[in-house]
Structure 1
Amino acid sequence: MAESDRPGKQGRQRPKDGNVIYANFGNRTRVTGSDDAPRAPRRTRPAFVPGAARLLDAVTRLTDQGRVTRGRQYAAAGHVVGLEVANGRVHGQVAGSQNEPFNVAIQLPYRSTDDIAKVTDRLARTTNGLRRARSGDVADELLDILLAEDPSDIRFSCDCPDSAVVCKHAVAVVEKLAAKMDADSALLFQLRGLDLGRLEQAVSEQAKIVSRESEDDTELFWSGHPLPDLPDPKVAPALDDSDLDLLHKAMRAVSYTSIDQLRAVSDIEDIYDHLTR
């Protein structure tokens, strides 16, 4: 009998394809294609406050993705070694391949005194306007004044050899500025020489003027403006924040013995728990 006609072990023949015997390599298995392979989730950037987001959007529109990526890497690696905010402009220093850092300047479009006064008036006429501004929630129409309505109105310059409108060093400075603005909303107003403390006083005075105007407006007299949010005070047990030594001292004046004093304090604690339950 020919060897090819002999049955294999246990009466089975090994599968073959041409001259390849799969027993040598194992059975065929399906290889998962690249389209079927699980993909790592895309990393999304954290949301920034509107002012910071507008600055980041400006540099993204005015340069290419390569410079944006390298600028972000520079900022993340700590290459921005200096950042100064002045009225209408920003100066930054970025350490690069040279011995001395490169100097970056960001110039915002000019704003007149009347333009800046519109910020105060708008905040005074908006319910919780200043409170929202302190948290970084600034309306687009105010960002048009404080920053720029069109990204091309912001001028970027750097003394590096790159001749692009926005180089990677400018991107790094904006990244650093946006991070600071996201942490401290007052920085947005400092870009226009505004101090939030003084701005609050100006808004208060402007609100009085707005109130007098509403008295002469029949429609506003009946409908009024939206009411501000109610205050959100800190809630904490009074006994926990109180000085128990003072409470015991007060109880001594009406207690004959230390036992009476302890009982009186205990009764007060029980009454407080019952009233605040």
Structure 2
Amino acid sequence: MKRDFEFTDGFPPSKPREVKGGIRARSRRGAFAQTWWARRWIAVLEGFELGGRLQRARSYARRGQVVSILIEKGRVDAVVQGSRPDPYLVKLEIRTLPAEEWRKLAATLNREARFAAQLLAGEMPADVEEAFRQSGLSLFPTQQSDLRTSCSCPDWSNPCKHIAAVYYLLGEEFDRDPFLIFRLRGLDRDELVLLLARAAATAPAPPERGRPPRRVPDPLPTEASAFWQGSELPADVLGEVEAPPVAAALLARLGTFPFWRGRQPLVEAITPVYHAASARALEVFLGETGR
């Protein structure tokens, strides 16, 4: 028979009070995070060696014991219902990066065009941490002093299971919206976009490779029918045509709903359609299809 009671160090067994409308984790078993950046966030928590508290925290997150979460620059405020009538207040504070450090990072990111393209499309580049390191920064907390946590519960351990439950839910939310990590570090999505645009505008122009040879236009046809019907266009009139580097980029820039609990995110569901449409358009353009 399964016991529905939990033990808190130094306190008698207690059963958390049921919460209606709490934030339930999407993960019902196994790992909480899916993307590499969310896994990195969870790894910080699990690096604290909390032992059995992690299991109880996962249970809290999956039962919906977290009533609310508010994410602001440099801090997270949450309400978690425990075994007592009054819920506990949880606070996480993370060191934000000064404006000068963000400008330095934006210049580093703009050296790689794909970084800006992926970030603007709502994706986290796989090696973005390397760009942070090149700027002498870190995207995630690297030591316990970078992250200060507190809870109004009587448990002396820090982080306690209530803090850890919030941590797990944040990891799931980072899966859906990586820009929340930047917000915690002190920069909103719109501010990051503006910073990248400014860095691109002030970046030194690439060295000139020399002007292409001047192309002399063909003379006008002398026959009236050829003049009015036109002649065949050059093969390279539209330049190089290829699929966009990031699918559904404009849709991703619209952002996402906070703590969305749909079965599948819209961008994730529609991205295969964008890939298929791009491939089909290229086939038609290049004449590789009979239809």
TM range (shorter): 0.5 to 0.7
Q: Match for residue 57 of structure 1?
A: 43
The answer to whether structure 1 residue 159 and structure 2 residue 141 are counterparts is: no
Q: Match for residue 136 of structure 1?
A: 124
Superposed displacement of residue 100, structure 1: 1.4
- Is the alpha carbon distance of 1:135 and 1:192 closer, same or farther for their aligned partners in structure 2, counting shifts above 3 Å? same
Deviations, residues 53-106 of structure 1 (Å, cap 9, x unaligned)? 232112212242201110011001111111011111111111100111111111
Deviations, residues 168-220 of structure 1 (Å, cap 9, x unaligned)? 001100111111111112212221342323422321231233342x439x9xx
Q: Match for residue 35 of structure 1?
A: none
- Is the alpha carbon distance of 1:113 and 1:276 closer, same or farther for their aligned partners in structure 2, counting shifts above 3 Å? same
Report the TM-score, using the length of structure 1 for normalisation: 0.59
What letter matches 1:140 in structure 2? Answer: E
Please say which of residues 125-134 and 139-148 is displaced more in the overlay: 139-148
The answer (yes or no) to whether the contact 2:97–2:186 under 8 Å persists in 1 is no
What SS does the aligned partner of 1:81 have? strand
RMSD of aligned residue pairs (Cα, Å) = 3.1
User: Structure 1 unaligned runs (5+)?
Assistant: 1-42, 219-228, 238-272
User: Structure 2 unaligned runs (5+)?
Assistant: 1-28, 210-241, 248-273, 279-286
Whole-angstrom distance in 1 between the partners of 2:243 and 2:203: 21
Q: Paired residue for 1:206, among 168, 186, 199?
A: 199
Q: Match for residue 24 of structure 2?
A: none
What letter matches 1:203 in structure 2? Answer: L
Give the structure with the higher percent helix. Answer: 1
Taking every aligned residue pair, what percent have the same amino acid on both sides? 29
Q: Paired residue for 1:94, among 80, 83, 86?
A: 80
Report the TM-score, using the length of structure 2 for normalisation: 0.56
What SS does the aligned partner of 1:62 have? coil
What SS does the aligned partner of 2:47 have? helix
Superposed displacement of residue 109, structure 1: 2.0
Deviations, residues 11-42 of structure 1 (Å, cap 9, x unaligned)? xxxxxxxxxxxxxxxxxxxxxxxxxxxxxxxx
Q: Match for residue 70 of structure 2?
A: 84
What SS does the aligned partner of 1:75 have? helix
Whole-angstrom distance in 2 between the partners of 1:190 and 1:208: 23
Whole-angstrom distance in 2 between the partners of 1:58 and 1:182: 15
Deviations, residues 127-159 of structure 1 (Å, cap 9, x unaligned)? 311333321335224385443232442111111
Whole-angstrom distance in 2 between the partners of 1:137 and 1:70: 33
Moved over 3 A (4+): 141-147, 232-237, 273-276
Deviations, residues 230-270 of structure 1 (Å, cap 9, x unaligned)? 51674559xxxxxxxxxxxxxxxxxxxxxxxxxxxxxxxxx
Superposed displacement of residue 274, structure 1: 10
